[in-house]
Structure 1
């Protein structure tokens, strides 16, 4: 099978964008050239790699397999390039990370510190919901993913690196603020919760199930910022990550309730597909994360 590396890179771009025109633009070739190379690639494989239904493109089974292969080869080449740069005494390359949305409260600062120490490294940081992060993990699109609830259906490498305590918050004028309370005191309260499937919601659901409590969920929202404002407006209590609470939130919007059985224990995980080898840049960033754990924990001291 006579296939060039350039053709594989083009097909990777085509698979990711779903567009011949967009793939051609990424590869800096004309659209007719891209179309011809994709046709030659299909002929070399001996099977159709994609089909158009209406105006939308769909990869065939062979196309999906080739997309995975092209992605793996591209990552191996990036790792090789980084290794050679390391041997030469250089640090350059691209680090790809996907994180669930709650991680946006501490990951950007860590990335910023890392970039300051390693100016030759480019960062591609995706902040997404848990399902989208898992989808990228399934397709091996990143060097690593950071989340609180790793998927059970995938074979993964999973390393815990940071605690993620979950606390119960209320509006600053709520009558329970400032009191020592128990779960019984919130039995009839309304709750504003994250969407089903988010890491925070999964931890909360498991906690309440173990306590044999059915919280009265009045409202479901897809972001921590929306939840904090809803709670601050008196729409109910909520359970959020300590990492998501800023000094401004605690001064203006909400208060953390002093409740037995809280904080709920949760943890941040560094996740990748099983057997995946870290590139030199990814390994350096991984070590950087572990070195900064105590600093991140100190940043939570404003909560209590």
Structure 2
């Protein structure tokens, strides 16, 4: 047999994702390239590793066993790389973080300096909704997660990174009269929600229930970006984190509508399972954040803080 490490990596990723397309995206390869490497790897075995049923790829029992061995080989190779880098005094390995979708506006800024300082570190960041983030965390599949609302059912430790302020927003063409009381405002407007399981959705529902407001017109979209585009297009209004709309506010495409009870402020928190024994890499990252988080927040999010202070004065 003459299979390569690259073929093992491709096969392991196909098994992990059960998809040629997703494996290609994860490895930053084209789908044909993944298919060719998978075929070349398969050609070295007399027993099928995969089979396609109804246009969906399935991993055979033999393939699952080979995948376990492939992962062990890959881990051993990474261990060799880690030892080599360690002797040079450098951190190496894979840092795995799950991020709620709105957190994509936050997390990269708290990673940049660390990754630039440690070139041997590989980042795996999964951006998805809150329920999937918590599933990854509970299954111990990631080192950390970024959330804005702490779940009650999971025992976690956390580090606060940044305020998360949510306001009622509309586009600048809106003729909504802010002098109406909240009940009238929310009956008048179509309100755009995130999907169930979203932290932003939970915050919106908590505000509506606490304010005893009835919503008569609403729609539901599955990403923060989709909600923003819908508001820009004039389809309705939404309660959104200011962190994700700062450019549109500066460009005067969106405006904040003053309503009693808003903004709601939560915290962007890096969380991990209570009692988790961190490996050297995630432990080093945690120490980096404890030391540098204030500087990062000031450097990259200072204008958001300034905007918030202006809004407080206007209110």
Same fold (TM over 0.5): yes
Corresponding position of 1:254: 254
The answer for the alignment partner of 1:31 in structure 2 is 42
User: What are the superposed Cα offsets for residues 159-199 of structure 1, whole Å, 9 maximum, x if unpaired?
Assistant: 1413211111012132347x566523423132111112211
Structure 1: gaps spanning 5 or more residues: 1-8, 39-49
Tell me by how many angstroms 1:18 deviates: 3.6
Per-residue deviation, residues 243-286 of structure 1 (Å, max 9, x unmatched): 11123344242101122211112222222334322222222323
- The TM-score with structure 1 as length reference comes to 0.71
Structure 1 residues 56 and 204: CA distance shift in structure 2, 3 A? same
1:168 aligns with 2:168: yes
Cα deviation, 1:187-243, whole Å, max 9, x if unaligned, reads 313211111221100111122112222323422112222222322333222100111
* Residue 156 (structure 1) shift: 3.8
Residues 65-114 of structure 1: CA deviation (Å, up to 9, x unaligned): xx99x999x99997997588557521222212121110111222332232
Q: 1:299 Cα shift?
A: 3.6
- Provide the residue aligned with 1:46 in structure 2: none
CA contact (8 A) 1:82 1:281 kept: no
Q: Which runs of 4 or more aligned residues in structure 1 lie more than 4 Å from their structure 2 counterparts after TM superposition?
A: 9-15, 22-26, 32-38, 50-60, 74-88, 150-153, 179-182
Report the Cα distance in structure 2 between the residues aligned to 1:277 and 1:81, rounded to whole angstroms: 22
- Does the Cα contact within 8 Å between 1:156 and 1:271 map onto a contact in 2? no
**TM-score of the superposed pair, with normalisation by structure 2:** 0.69
Q: 1:80 to 1:149 in 2, by over 3 A?
A: farther
Where do 1:132-151 residues align within 5 Å?
132-151=132-151
Kept after mapping to 2: 8 A contact 1:99/1:127: yes
Q: How does 1:50-61 map to 2 (within 5 A)?
A: none
* Residue pair 1:200, 1:240 contacting (<8 A) in 2 also: yes
Give matches, 1:113-128, under 5 Å: 113-128=113-128
Query: Are 1:241 and 2:241 counterparts?
Result: yes
For the pair 1:275 / 2:286, whether they are aligned, the reply is: no
1:298 is aligned to: 302
Q: Deviations over 1:141-171 (max 9, x none)?
A: 2221112234444x44231413211111012
Structure 2 unaligned runs (5+)? 1-8, 21-33
CA distance in 2, matches of 1:57, 1:175: 52
Alpha-carbon RMSD across the aligned residues, in angstroms, is: 4.4
1:96 aligns with 2:96: yes
Contact 1:228–1:254 under 8 Å retained in 2: no
Q: Give the C-alpha shift of residue 117 in structure 1.
A: 2.3
